[in-house]
Amino acid sequence: MASVAVDAPKFVDLTHHLAPEVLVRKTNPLKDIIRISWENPHLVSLANGDPHHSLYPIRRVEYEVASAADEDPVSAWRSLGASAPTQLLTSSRDADSPRLHQASLAYGHGVGLPDALRTVTALNNAYHTAPHHVATMTLGNADAITKVFRMLGSAGDYFLADEFTFGPMPIAAEAHGIKWVPVRIDSGGIIPEELERILANWDSRRGKRPHVLYAVPCGQNPTGSTLSLERRKQIYEIAQKYDLIIVEDDPYYFLQYDPPSTEAHSTQTQLKPFPVSFLSLDVDGRVIRIDSFSKIMAPGLRLGWITSQPAFQQHLVRFIDLSSQQPSGFPQALVSLLLDGWGLAGFDRWVRSLRLDYQRRRDFLLGLFEREVAPGGLASVDVPEAGMFLWVRVHLERHPRFTRKAEEVVEGARTNARELMQELFEACIRGGLLIVPATVFVLPTETGYEEEGSVHIDDRSNFLRATFAGSEETMAAGMPILGKVLKEFFADPSTARIDATSTVA
Amino acid sequence: MSIASSSMATPVDLSHHFSTEARLRQPNPMKAIWKLTRRKPNMVSLANGDPHFSLYPIRKVEYEMASVAEEDPVATWRRGPSAPSHNLVSSTYEPCALPLQTGLQYSHGAGLPDAQRVVTDLTNYYHATSDHMCTLTLGNSDGITKCFRLLGEPGDHFIADEFSFSSMTNVPLAQGIKWVGIKMDDGGMIPEELERVLAEWDLARGRRPHVIYLVPCGQNPTGSTLSLERRKRIYAIAQRFDLIIIEDDPYYFLQYDTPDHPTTALSTPFAASFLSLDTDGRVMRIDSFSKVFAPGMRLGWITSNALFHEALVTYTDSSTMHPHGFGQMLITEMMAPHGWQLSGFDRWVRSLRAEYHRRRAFFLDLFAREVSQTQLARATVPEAGMFVWIRVEIEKHPRYRADRRMQSRDVTGPRTNVKELMEELFERCLDGGLVIMPASIFALSADPKYDDMEDPVEDRLNYLRATFAGTEEAMEQGLTILGQVLRDFFSEEQK
């Protein structure tokens, strides 16, 4: 990390956000003594029980990776297959400088391998403006987010998230007593006014006011929405006003697309720039940004990083030293070798090229949707600006068995949308298509605190999530099935349409 | 192996050991969806947003490993760059046991099936399992930490050796779990002491302990190894008092003969583990590749009953996720017909054992020359592991006092000033240029309200832990410094 400038801004002290568990956590006492060794290399150490590197049975690891020399390296890599040009990256004990090899295979410090940290810091500096934040290596986004949730949440705390969100993360937090408050979204993501309203109107009898916002600002999962710069600034101001921590989960940051009407031969230089992250807006140090190599390299790397203010990092590292420890040396060595081998320019070419590839896939799936599904008028889709998913709206109100309860009924769902979607999901499976219904993504929340006059989440769950991350064959096979299943589902001849004004018993 | 494979005839229901958190934990809904892919033979899935493998910028990983063709492969390997090697490859285009496109995907919380099979085969080869299942981990720290979260409730007391590996015992403190330390002797935890503590447990203190954490071979820090007799007695106590045994066994393969033997015979059998005695399914055995391959692998596994395995998988799927592909690919290729195979792995670990046996001998010889002859410290010979537990004869120090209780009038406080003297000794070692681990960082503190304070651990902190895992140079220099520091420290005039 570049040394801190003389006039470095003081980050706000946010330690009051930390769970009691964090504050009582003692350090790993052996690491304290080992640190004495590291900091004083002239001392003879009989302290650490580290196997000597001459006993590692691994002398060399060689990775054969894509070349990033081409303007559009992803295309070249995919189209040329086995004959695509490659680069060899080597980590070796017997090399001129075995340091990386040995360091990657030894026990290390919870913050991560210095080479890997240098790599991700360089990436942070290239794509964001956060010179005073620091990076900590993680095992990927799920690991990072669940650790951060544990560090910020005491049992009974309330956290905020999109009302449709990536289920596993909130569910993980529920196991240790965290409750969720949904924020209304539209096609542009979190509605800032809604966020503010929840915080301004918070009833303190319910519990402590929410102090953490979990956001996926680009290509939100599942809705595909991306927050505009304007909204990001508004949300950041709200976070400052109400003292929120923003957990910025951004796995699709690099997968940003143009509208499909853009010329088919758009080149790298014509692509719009990557958005300004919450991290780049973070003057207070209240953003904890979560990055991962999973979507831009491979999920099996199990490697990512957290960027935060230094005070938070201290607690995080202490937690890591007393749990999962730093990530494996293999992927850490790989990403550091990769950035050396490709250079920042090569990395940039790779991710921009990847973006184009996903954009082509998006357009392919959209094209299929237009042909196979849209003409029936039974479903529609907004064009996602980022990410890997289409959020398909099913026009349930056209279903013969769609029912709406009478106005007098105030509690719970007013329609049978949830049941119908479950039927549709099962019909898809019977038809040989697996697609994810919106119900999987509904943020788990307490009942009884819905806003007056609001439409219940179940009544707004008439969506399916379909991915364009798979192969073209899969997409070409899947869309016709969806079209067919929808037609049959809506043609449902089993019952006549129930009168809309009758009260359901 | 001397223990016959036993079957859990009447599986014991151990679900009551789960923490509230474990009970509340819902499975990852995306995994449930992922399982539906197998519902129909040609299911088209637009469900999971997994990057297609054609977009992984990696085509091949080659690991140049030690050759294990010879009887003593570690000795051969230590020759350096000229030692013969064996290449293992995982690739997209070339034939291999676990292709890259599978190895680098998202997968199941337990790990890739091929990698799971590898660790299951290893476990079955060295231990007698019955209905146990293996779950991959990111190493022992990760595995044990997860076990603590699955089993421990705030306010719980867990049991461990009085001197324990504090990197692990510090972990659950933040969760509100406390430790009860059990006295040890040269043979490790004293079973009668364990039984006494459990039988006399005062419920006012909280729920009776239901989890015991043990390092049965080459215990860290004392280097003791539990005899088969003691293991059976401890297992019987665990059955009687319904304990879960967390068997942390990173030094399992580093078990030595007595120092009289010039080297451990490569064919000496390994001791029976708690897992091998586990008829009830109450053992969670923690294994790791860290000491036999390299710590940076960050790969290990837990062997447990099926119920605990499921809970571990659910938890893994909601936290760290499965381990990295590279390590899983490496061990899969290693065990494949073109790799080391199990026989090669066995030669490697036996050879490693011989190597550490030699290092232990080197250390003990040096110790005798540089330290024992001062008569100010003596070493216990470890039967396993990487450490020597050195007893400092602190009673001989000019400033040693045994009348602290009379001075302080605290009937539960320390009787001596051993703690302060050892802190000074640690600093003197640093000043002399030596870093060595003092006993104090491994000691579990007692609870004066409930524990037997006749013999407080503070009075027994006169030990140092030194490793023979480092270089011969470090051992030579280090032990010379230690001898000198001891002489200086003990020779000072009474102040």
The CATH number linked to A148 is 3.40.640.10
- In chain B, which residue's Cα lies nearest the Cα of A42? B433
For residue B8, pLDDT over 60 is answered with no
pLDDT of residue A261: 59
Mean pLDDT of B39-58: 89
Is A174 in the same domain as A320? yes
Q: What is the DSSP string of B354-373?
A: HHHHHHHHHHHHHHHHHTGG
Name the minimum distance, in Å, from the CA of B53 to any CA of chain A. Answer: 8
Angle CA A208–A212–A213, to nearest 5:
130
Name the minimum distance, in Å, from the CA of A350 to any CA of chain B. Answer: 9
Measured between CB atoms, does A310 come within 8 Å of chain B?
no
Q: Specify the number of domains making up chain A.
A: 2
Is A155 in the same domain as A258? yes
Of B21, B45, B348, the CB nearest to A57: B348
pLDDT band of residue B407 (cuts 50, 70, 90) is confident
CA distance B362 to B426: 24
pTM of the full structure: 0.92
CATH T-level fold of B102-342:
Aspartate Aminotransferase; domain 2 (3.40.640)
Cβ A279 vs Cβ A289: under 8 Å: yes
Pair of tokens at residue B358: 């030699």
pLDDT band of residue B355 (cuts 50, 70, 90) is very high
Mark which residues 226-285 of B lie under 8 Å from A by CB.
none
Domain's final residue, options A304, A333, A354: A354
Mean pLDDT of B90-117: 91
Mean pLDDT of B48-52: 88
The answer to whether the complex's ipTM is over 0.95 is no
Is A268 in the same domain as A325? yes
Residues of chain B with C-beta less than 8 angstroms from the C-beta of A429: 36, 39-40, 43
Residue with structure tokens 């080459």?
A: B218
B37: closest CA among A387, A85, A432? Answer: A432
| Region class of A432: left (phi > 0), else alpha (psi between -120 and 50), else beta | left
**CATH 3.90.1150.10 placement within chain B:** 350-491
CA distance B330 to B88: 7
For residue B487, pLDDT over 50 is answered with yes
Taking CB atoms and an 8 Å limit, are A50 and B323 in contact across chains?
A: no
Cβ B493 vs Cβ B398: under 8 Å: yes
**CATH 3.40.640.10 placement within chain B:** 102-342
Is A323 in the same domain as A380? no
Taking CB atoms and an 8 Å limit, are A66 and B386 in contact across chains?
A: no
**What is the residue range of A93's domain?**
25-354
pLDDT of residue A497: 44
Taking CB atoms and an 8 Å limit, are A60 and B63 in contact across chains?
A: yes
Long-range CB contact pairs, A397-403, < 8 A, 24+: A398/A490, A399/A489, A399/A490, A399/A492, A400/A490, A400/A492, A400/A493, A400/A495, A400/A496, A400/A497, A401/A492, A401/A494, A401/A495, A401/A497, A401/A498, A402/A497, A403/A498, A403/A500, A403/A504
Is A35 in the same domain as A76? yes
Is A98 in the same domain as A199? yes
Residues of chain A with C-beta less than 8 angstroms from the C-beta of B56: 297-298
Residues of chain B with C-beta less than 8 angstroms from the C-beta of A53: 294
Q: Is residue A382 part of a domain?
A: yes
pLDDT band of residue A504 (cuts 50, 70, 90) is very low
Length of chain B in residues, anyone?
495
A366: closest CA among A490, A254, A224? Answer: A224
Element at B158 (helix H, strand E): strand B157-161
pLDDT of residue A501: 41
Taking CB atoms and an 8 Å limit, are B324 and A299 in contact across chains?
A: no
Residue among B112, B144, B217, B324 with most chain A CBs within 10 A, to mutate = B324
Angle CA A337–A340–A346, to nearest 5:
115
pLDDT band of residue B11 (cuts 50, 70, 90) is low
pLDDT of residue A503: 40
Is A184 in the same domain as A315? yes
Mean pLDDT of A192-214: 96
Query: A–B: how many Cβ contacts below 8 A?
Result: 356
Name the minimum distance, in Å, from the CA of A180 to any CA of chain B. Answer: 15
Which amino acid, residue B183? K
Mean pLDDT of A302-321: 95
CA distance B79 to B417: 49
For residue B380, pLDDT over 60 is answered with yes
Measured between CB atoms, does B145 come within 8 Å of chain A?
yes
Taking CB atoms and an 8 Å limit, are B322 and A62 in contact across chains?
A: no
Taking CB atoms and an 8 Å limit, are A24 and B173 in contact across chains?
A: yes
Q: Which residue has the higher pLDDT, B26 or A189?
A: A189
For residue B395, pLDDT over 60 is answered with yes
Measured between CB atoms, does A336 come within 8 Å of chain B?
no
Is A267 in the same domain as A390? no
- Domain with residue A388: its CATH number is 3.90.1150.10
pLDDT band of residue A2 (cuts 50, 70, 90) is very low
> How many other C-beta atoms are found inside a 10 Å radius of the C-beta of residue A486?
24
pLDDT, tens digit (0-9, with 9 covering 90-100), for A426-483:
999 999 999 999 988 999 888 777 766 678 888 989 999 999 999 999 999 999 999 9
Is A436 in the same domain as A470? yes
Taking CB atoms and an 8 Å limit, are B174 and A477 in contact across chains?
A: no
Q: Is residue A14 part of a domain?
A: no
Is A350 in the same domain as A365? no
For residue B494, pLDDT over 70 is answered with no
Share of chain B above pLDDT 70, in %: 97
Out of A224-238, A364-378, B32-46, B89-103, least confident range:
B32-46
CA distance B292 to B333: 17
Q: Which residues of B98-107 are buried (b: 16+ CB within 10 A; e: fewer)?
A: bbbbbbbbbb
Cβ B467 vs Cβ B220: under 8 Å: no
Upper half-sphere CA count for residue B262 (Cβ side, 13 Å): 0
pLDDT of residue A236: 98
Contacts of A229 (CB under 8 A, 6+ apart): A275, A276
C-alpha distance from residue B41 to each of A37, A432, B357 (Å):
58, 9, 55
For residue B265, pLDDT over 90 is answered with no
pLDDT of residue B9: 53
- In chain A, which residue's Cα lies nearest the Cα of B479? A46
pLDDT of residue A452: 67
Taking CB atoms and an 8 Å limit, are B296 and A60 in contact across chains?
A: no
pLDDT of residue B49: 85
Q: Is residue A15 part of a domain?
A: no
Mean pLDDT of B459-480: 95
Number of alpha helices (DSSP H) and beta strands (DSSP E) in chain A: 13, 17
Q: How do B437-438 and B463-467 pair as beta strands?
A: antiparallel
Taking CB atoms and an 8 Å limit, are B55 and A78 in contact across chains?
A: yes
pLDDT of residue A9: 63
Domain's final residue, options A314, A335, A354: A354
Taking CB atoms and an 8 Å limit, are A302 and B49 in contact across chains?
A: no
Mean pLDDT of A124-133: 95
Taking CB atoms and an 8 Å limit, are B293 and A58 in contact across chains?
A: yes
Out of B8-22, B84-98, B214-228, B319-333, least confident range:
B8-22
For residue A499, pLDDT over 60 is answered with no
Q: Is residue A51 part of a domain?
A: yes
According to CATH, the superfamily of the domain at B350-491 is: Aspartate Aminotransferase, domain 1 (3.90.1150.10)
Is A350 in the same domain as A362? no
pLDDT band of residue B454 (cuts 50, 70, 90) is confident
Query: Over chain A, what is the mean pLDDT?
Result: 90
pLDDT of residue B316: 94
pLDDT band of residue B448 (cuts 50, 70, 90) is confident
Measured between CB atoms, does B30 come within 8 Å of chain A?
yes
C-alpha distance from residue B411 to each of A159, B239, B453 (Å):
49, 35, 8
Name the minimum distance, in Å, from the CA of B305 to any CA of chain A. Answer: 22
Q: Is residue A505 part of a domain?
A: no
CA distance A202 to A242: 11
Mean pLDDT of A198-213: 95
Domain's final residue, options A354, A385, A406: A354
pLDDT band of residue B270 (cuts 50, 70, 90) is confident
Q: How do A212-215 and A158-162 pair as beta strands?
A: parallel
Is A112 in the same domain as A238? yes
Measured between CB atoms, does B373 come within 8 Å of chain A?
no
Measured between CB atoms, does B28 come within 8 Å of chain A?
yes
Residues of chain A with C-beta less than 8 angstroms from the C-beta of B441: 29-30, 33
